[in-house]
Amino acid sequence: MTDAASTSHPRLTDRPAWQALAAHHRQVRDLHLRQLFADDPQRGERLTAEGAGLYLDYSKNRVTDETIKLLLQLADECGLAARIDAMFRGQQINASEQRAVLHVALRADASERIEVDGVDVVPEVHAVLDHMATFSASVRSGRWLGYTGRAIRNVINIGIGGSDLGPVMAYEALRHYSRRDMTFRFISNVDGTDFEEATRDLDPEETLFIICSKTFATLETLTNAHTARAWSLRKLKDERAVQRHFVAISTNSEGVAKFGIDTANMFGFWDWVGGRYSMDSAVGLSTMLAIGAENFRAMLSGFHAMDRHFRSTPFDQNLPVLMGLLAVWNNNFLGAQTVAVLPYEHYLKRFPAYLQQLTMESNGKHVTLDGVPVDVPTGPVYWGEPGTNGQHSFYQLIHQGTRLVPCDFIGFCQPLNPLGRHHDLLLANLFAQTEALAFGKTAQQLEAEGTPSWLVPHRTCEGNRPTNTVLAQRLTPETLGQLVALYEHSVLTQGVIWHIDSFDQWGVELGKVLAQRIIPELECTDEPKLGHDSSTNALIRRYRRLREG
Ligand code: F6P
């Protein structure tokens, strides 16, 4: 047994609240949402919470007041309040990497003080924001000129994972607020297609690349960055052009300088910002270039409003805490293995993909903070698509399949593009889906409608499918910040209950190491001596044989 394993942290399943929840689940597992709503006509207004600009209706979850009481008791027993406090105080809650976790400092007011190792980081955060704002203003105004004296019209962010998903999602989400006379693109994949398609119609003289990599060591990003450099220089023909067409976002100034980027045009961040929690740091430079500094700051204020809500609101009214605890209930007691995120807002089409990294890289963990195997399943699989499109694709399985898929529905009361009846139709569908999923359609109802008896089983919808509905007034930079922070803190809440490190990602390392071993085996001209398993060896040999055409 390791030292870590011998620590006295109780097993989750031994906690009194967990055991009470297990006993409670046995009593309520057959309860139907139809019954719960019939018994309490106020349920749809009671089981709701509102804060930081968002309204959460969690009444269509399979919970009773007792369930919520026990989940809140579990949060207390697991020390959630102390853990939240530790995060905001800059303690090293990312234990396996021995780092503070301070994305909340990225949106702190300039008047706040947040220390890491005795140093207040808030002034540094604001200095970088100011630097970003000055740079963005000069690019957006046409004052920043490319090497041949032309203004920048195209911005391409090169990054992957947290250095891509946040920027892409935010750009798509806030497109309504973006400069329509500029082109914004994102290259992440080491697949050359991504680079080719992103650049084929662009002129290097008018194109600015943002090389976005916390480590400045990621294979995909550096490969694409070097390809971009060659693409630019093919036309610009002078190494000095790199300084006018490349800027960097990184914590690694040495790597940036080595690449040839002027470190005066490097926008820094810190090792206490995890990649998947970084879209509101300098990683958001492409967002700021698209929407302007004022809108970017409005987004930060949305994040900050949710941070304050999370830190100071009693747990029974605290949106991220409630969402996190409900996720634990659905995952561990109802046995749901996935969560579908269904934004009824087309601009949020990349939000589910963004949440996949945020939730799964954070909570896809198999050992506790003490290094011992977890005793319950941890992070569920997140996926989703915007409504109403998903309705005509995978919703069938959610309505009538054999798996339980809790869903988060996200909607906005005011459209950004009012167009005839469109928005009412969109929202009618959102409300109808949560209603159908909760209440279904019984055999009796179908028979009463005259459905032929052979068809009744096919048309019956059991209902009792849990959903959350998050409503906001309008998709703005501010609401986007609120929404992202809502999920960030829900992820933390779940991680605290499971007693895991939600801020490391060791699992992705093995594949990277093995790829480094295989690269020379693909690139060498002589037949390589392969020492893998027979499947990997055969695949490599076959690829080498067939790639020549
Ligand atoms: O491979 C996973 C990961 O480390 C993510 O956590 C991170 O967001 C991504 O790679 C990109 O890393 P970087 O910003 O250092 O290039």
For 426-445, write each residue's pLDDT tens digit.
999 999 999 999 999 999 99
pLDDT of residue 269: 92
Alpha helix segments (H runs only) across 237-292: 242-245, 253-259, 285-291
Nearest to 117 by CA among 96, 97, 90, 95: 90
441 classed as catalytic: no
Task: Give the largest Cα separation in the chain, rounded.
Answer: 79
Q: Whose CA is nearest to atom 6 of ligand 1?
A: 275
Give the residue-averaged pLDDT of 381-391: 97
pLDDT at 5: 43
Asked if 296 contacts 281 with a C-beta cutoff of 8 angstroms, the reply is no
For range 167-172, the mean pLDDT: 98
d(CA 310, CA 391): 32
DSSP β-ladder status, 154-158 and 183-187: parallel
DSSP label of 509 = H
119, 90 contact by CB (below 8 A): no
What would the mean pLDDT of 451-478 be, rounded to a whole number? 98
pLDDT above 70 for 108: yes
Q: Measure 213 CA to ligand 1 centroid, in angstroms.
A: 7
Residue 322, judged by CB atoms within 10 A of its CB (0-12, 13-18, 19+), counts as buried
Residues found in the chain: 549
Average pLDDT over residues 335-357: 98
What's the pLDDT tens digit per position in 223-232?
999 999 999 9
Which residue, by CA, sits nearest to atom 9 of ligand 1? 161
Q: Are 530 and 541 in contact (CB under 8 A)?
A: yes
What was the pLDDT predicted at 8?
67
Sheet of 467-472, strand order: 48-51, 54-57, 467-472, 407-412, 338-343, 381-383
Q: Which pLDDT belongs to residue 464?
A: 98
Give me the sheet containing 154-158, strands edge to edge: 183-187, 154-158, 207-212, 246-250, 266-268
Strand partners, 210: 157, 247
The confidence score (pLDDT) of residue 133 equals: 98
Average pLDDT, the chain: 97
Q: For a substitution probing ligand 1, which of 157, 250, 358, 505 has the most ligand atoms within 8 Å of its CB?
A: 505
The number of beta carbons lying within 10 Å of the beta carbon of residue 266 is 21
- In this structure, the number of other CB atoms found within 10 A of the CB of residue 22 comes to 13
Q: What is the pLDDT of residues 25-51, one digit of tens each?
A: 999 999 999 999 999 999 999 999 999
Strand partners, 467: 407
Residues 362, 504: Cα–Cα separation, whole Å:
7
- Position 2 pLDDT exceeds 60: no
Please confirm whether the linkage preceding 2 is cis (ω < 30° from 0). no
Dihedral angle over CA of 173, 176, 179, 182, nearest 10: 60
- DSSP-derived 3-state class of residue 346: helix
Residues facing residue 155 across a β-bridge = 184, 208
Catalytic site residue from 258, 366, 422, 512: 512
Distance CA 212, CA 361 (A): 19
Rounded Cα distance between 480 and 412, Å, is 11
Do 436 and 377 touch, CB atoms closer than 8 A? no
Which of 99, 186, 212, 218 for mutating ligand 1's site (highest number of atoms within 8 Å of CB)?
218
Mean pLDDT, rounded, for 421-425 = 98
pLDDT of residue 488: 98
Place of tokens 């009593």: 27
208 burial level (CB within 10 Å; 0-12, 13-18, 19+) = buried
Active-site entry in 172, 205, 361, 488 = 361
CB 227 within 8 A of CB 189: no
| DSSP-derived secondary structure for 379-410 | -PEEE---TTGGGGTTHHHHHHSSS---EEEE
With the most atoms of ligand 1 within 8 angstroms of its CB, the residue from 157, 164, 254, 508 to mutate is 508
Please say if the pLDDT value at position 120 is more than 80: yes
Which residues touch 389 (CB under 8 Å, ≥6 apart)? none
- Atom from ligand 1 closest to the CA of residue 212: 14
- Tokens encoding 58: 């969690």
Mean pLDDT of the region 204-224: 97
In the residue annotation, 462 being an active-site residue is answered as no
* Pair of tokens at residue 75: 């949060």
End-to-end alpha-carbon separation of the chain, Å? 54
- pLDDT band of 7, cuts 50, 70, 90: low
Is 421 in contact with 415 (CB distance < 8 Å)?
no
Angle ∠(230,232,238) on CA atoms, nearest 5: 90
Which amino acid is residue 400, in one-letter code?
Q
Question: What's the confidence (pLDDT) of residue 6?
Answer: 44
* 272: pLDDT strictly greater than 60: yes
Give the Cα separation of 237 and 461 in Å (integer).
65
Q: What is the ipTM of this complex?
A: 0.98
DSSP annotation of 289 reads H
The owner of tokens 């060591």 is 217
CA angle 15, 18, 21 (to 5 degrees): 150
Residues with CB under 6 A from ligand 1: 160-163, 213-215, 218, 221, 275-276, 361, 505, 508
Averaged pLDDT for residues 118-136: 97
Residue 99 corresponds to which amino acid? R
CA 290 to chain centre: 20
- Cα–Cα separations (whole angstroms), residue 534 to 521, 530, 531, 537, 539: 15, 9, 9, 5, 9
Q: Shortest CA distance to 105 belongs to which of 240, 336, 269, 344?
A: 269
Mean pLDDT throughout 529-548? 96
Which protein residue's CA is at the shortest distance from atom 8 of ligand 1?
Answer: 162
For 527, the token pair is 């037949």
- Our measurement of the distance from residue 399's CA atom to the centroid of its chain's CA atoms, rounded to an integer in Å, reads 25
Percent of the chain's residues with pLDDT above 90: 98
- In angstroms, what is the span from residue 510 Cα to ligand 1's centroid? 14
Q: How many helices (H) and strands (E) does the chain have?
A: 23, 13
